[in-house]
Amino acid sequence: MSLSHVNEQNQAAMVDVSAKDVTVRIATAEARVTVNDAVAAQFDGRDFASKKGPVFQTAILAGTMGAKQTSSLIPLCHPLPLDSCKFEASFAGHEAVIRCTCKTTGKTGVEMEALTGANLAALTFYDMCKALDPAMVIHGVRLIEKTGGKSDYRADA
């Protein structure tokens, strides 16, 4: 098996998807943010209070914008029209978990869009809370599941 984005001349290249079937493709990714007591104290059971506004809501908007711009940020990604981009955000203990699920009908998967969405949401969470905790840690960014392409994937399966 070889890397999909390297051609015969060992150069970076966009994958040719012209022969692939159009299918419904879905991917879910997550990012985690570990925070200190000061940030945790701002959680009201649904969102975080911030001078900049509601943290989870703003992070979700930023994540959605990021998912839609993935091909502009990652050089070899195909531009994809997203049929859907949804988020789940939760908080327990000292950890926020942000999940992004992207869906498209096309010839290539939406893993990178889901990963970008989760990452941008986590970065926005950090930006909105950094005054209380500049040592927050964004971690555990990973693909949880993908379906609809040549091979499906499920983490921990």
Nearest alpha-carbon partner for 4 in 77, 79, 53: 77
Active site residue 127: yes
Among the residues of the chain, which ranges form H helices? 37-40, 55-68, 70-73, 111-129
Nearest alpha-carbon partner for 97 in 26, 48, 34: 34
Catalytic residue among 21, 37, 44, 127: 127
77/107 Cα distance (integer angstroms): 12
149/20 Cα distance (integer angstroms): 9
148/129 Cα distance (integer angstroms): 37
* Catalytic sites, residue numbers: 127
